[in-house]
Chains A and B, each alone.
Chain A
Amino acid sequence: MKKALAALIRHPSGRIGLFIVGLYLIIAIMGAVGLTPHNPLQQFMLDRLKPPSGNFWMGTDLLGRDTMSRLMMGIGQSMVIAFASVAFATIAGTVIGLLAAWWGSLWDGILMRLMDVLLAFPAILLALLIIAIVGPGTATSIAAIGIVYTPIFARVVRGPALSLKRRDFVDAARTFGSAQSYVLTRHLLLNLVAPLAVQVTLALAWALLTEAGLSFLGLGTQPPTPSLGLMLSESKNLMTQAPWLMIFPALTIMLGILGFNLAGDALRDILDPRTQRREA
């Protein structure tokens, strides 16, 4: 773990990704504990639609709220949803994928066809359906995004788990009579940590993207709580008068996704057995 982090810092684009992710986490915490330039919900009636200035670094919106403070809080909101939904998908997907691979035959067929059913829905529509059932909100977004990405994790785990299952060290374990739980955790799961770490990082990027998309459609985080997608969506009708309302949320979303993508890619470079073999 420590070694992977050190390698990530040494990796040129991994360093950038790690820096962005770190920055966003700090901003998210600052937003959560109220360390924002202004109250994100406060309406400065005299300063409506002001361009960036010394007081309002990123300008204000139609209701006179500070864009920067709102973005900081929005980042926090996005991060909570992204991390929680990816945690859900990782755990559920890993368990399903691992068991499908280990049990094989009939169970494999049933579990993976179920995953296929979920995959046959476009992600946004599946999320929409879930939101329609339970109503929009933070918890709904987490559940919706989590369920959407569960089959992807199940597939990511199942493939390597199947090939690990056929490896000689698993056969060796069988000749000693090792317990199933030992084989599943030590021989399969432990060797899946590397591909999972890559997938988790990249999934965080998609989760940010999906969350922003849902709130852009007005189905994610509900006003007045600020969220990045909603801010961008609201800016659409004001883009000629107040382009800052569009530019800053757009850049914030892009940069965040970019950070996770860069970190995930670098992790893949570092943990890829093929590049490792080349070094050996």
Chain B
Amino acid sequence: MTSGVGKRASNLMNYVAQRLLTFPLILLGVSVLVFVSIRLIPGDAITAMLGTEAGMMTPAQRQALAAYFGIDQPVWSQYMRWLGGLFHGDLGISSIYGKPVLTVILERFPLTLQMALMSMVIALAIGVPLGVLAATRNERPSDLVVRVFAMLGQSTPSFVIGVLIIYVLSVYFGMVPAMGTFTPITVDFWASMGQLIFPAITLGFAFAASVTRIARSAMLDVLSDDYIRTARSKGASSISVVWHHALPNALIPVVTLSGVEFGYLLGGAVIVEQIFALPGLGRLTLDAITQRDYALVQGSVLFIAFNFLVVNLLVDLAYVALDPRIRLGGR
């Protein structure tokens, strides 16, 4: 039996403290990995940066440029310098854009965040009710329909859906979805939503399918638990059994899955951004890798990993809110 408020509080504190301790460790690992691996990319950075212009430079000019970007030093001293800058919020200068890396990233991030949020809303709005419905109608026709939907959704790559959406829109509706531009939500709400709705549907489709599947199987598990029988023995109605007694217990796997997916979406959806020509974080990183923008690759990958970890921490905190056993400790 749990005794005393102090012990409960220390349980939760322990948990959060452990999380927070591993947090910088993982970020450090990510940054070392990126730092080393990007320097393993063959070819010389100045050439990659300037293309044919590089051929016209004198060795002295190249040397000066390398010194400007700090890539003339040994790798470890570059790393230490970069790490030092990190503590001042300085991620270096992007060689492609000639601007501070953080500025470039923060320009692209709103689109990525908004698109990720929109697809998660779509996925949860479709997935949770469908999953619950299928679980309560186990093995009946409506369950089968939902399972077929989920299976198809899970088996269709985003680029297939994206291409199909563009095809259907252009051939049958004679319209081309807005491409290449993005209006921030603060400027024009509806225009912004309109520009991202089709990419969000593209991403949300497979996401919704996963949510449906996990919600269905979690509900099936919970519905056979003993306390559901207890609720029925009290005379609770089916609706109350499903929504009040079962669903709160089935939410943890749904939250876990949504958190992981959302975390990945925050890293940018390279393929969907490519199809819809959107200036998001994914393409930014892709371009940075192909053009050897060392500072930008390091910065954006670290930013993405940071977001991923923050989302994971939020998921953990969501468990704490959802499950009193985690919140209050004990067995």
A11 to B172 CA separation, bound complex (whole angstroms): 39
A113 to B22 CA separation, bound complex (whole angstroms): 8
Query: How many Å from the CB of A205 to the closest CB on chain B?
Result: 7
Are B301 and A239 within 8 A (Cβ)? no
Q: Which of A117, A123, A229, A240 contacts B26 (CB 8 A)?
A: A117
Note all chain A residues with C-beta closer than 8 A to B34: 129
Query: How many Å from the CB of A133 to the closest CB on chain B?
Result: 5
Are B30 and A128 within 8 A (Cβ)? no
Q: Which of A120, A205, A246 contacts B305 (CB 8 A)?
A: A120
A5 touches B (CB below 8 Å): no
Query: How many Å from the CB of A108 to the closest CB on chain B?
Result: 13
Are A121 and B304 within 8 A (Cβ)? yes
A250 touches B (CB below 8 Å): yes
Candidate in A117, A125, A205, A257 with the most chain B CB atoms within 10 angstroms: A125
In chain B, what residue has the closest Cβ to A233? B159
A253 touches B (CB below 8 Å): yes
Note all chain B residues with C-beta closer than 8 A to A246: 163-164, 167
Are B155 and A217 within 8 A (Cβ)? no
Are A261 and B151 within 8 A (Cβ)? yes
Number of chain A interface residues as a range: 35 or more
Are B308 and A239 within 8 A (Cβ)? no
Note all chain A residues with C-beta closer than 8 A to B42: 133, 135
Q: Which of A121, A122, A254 contacts B160 (CB 8 A)?
A: A254
In chain B, what residue has the closest Cβ to A12? B144
1/0 contact trace for A123-165 toward B, CB 8 Å? 1110011101101000000000000000000000000000000
Chain B residues near A (Cβ < 8 Å): 22, 25-26, 29-30, 33-34, 37-38, 40-42, 151-152, 154-160, 163-164, 166-167, 170-171, 221, 264, 267-268, 270-271, 274-275, 282, 285-286, 289-290, 297, 301, 304-305, 308-309
Chain A residues near B (Cβ < 8 Å): 13, 113-114, 116-117, 120-125, 128-130, 132-133, 135, 205, 209, 212-213, 216-217, 229, 232-233, 235-236, 239-240, 243, 246, 250, 253-254, 257-258, 261-262, 265, 274
> Please, could you name 18 A-B residue pairs with CB atoms under 8 Å apart, sorted by A?
A113-B26, A113-B29, A114-B29, A116-B29, A120-B304, A121-B267, A122-B267, A124-B282, A125-B286, A128-B270, A128-B286, A129-B301, A133-B41, A216-B157, A217-B274, A236-B275, A254-B152, A258-B155
**Given A128-B285, A135-B42, A254-B156, 18 other A-B residues pairs in contact with their CB atoms under 8 A:** A113-B25, A113-B26, A117-B29, A120-B30, A120-B305, A122-B270, A123-B264, A124-B270, A124-B271, A124-B282, A125-B267, A129-B38, A129-B289, A216-B271, A217-B271, A217-B286, A261-B151, A261-B154
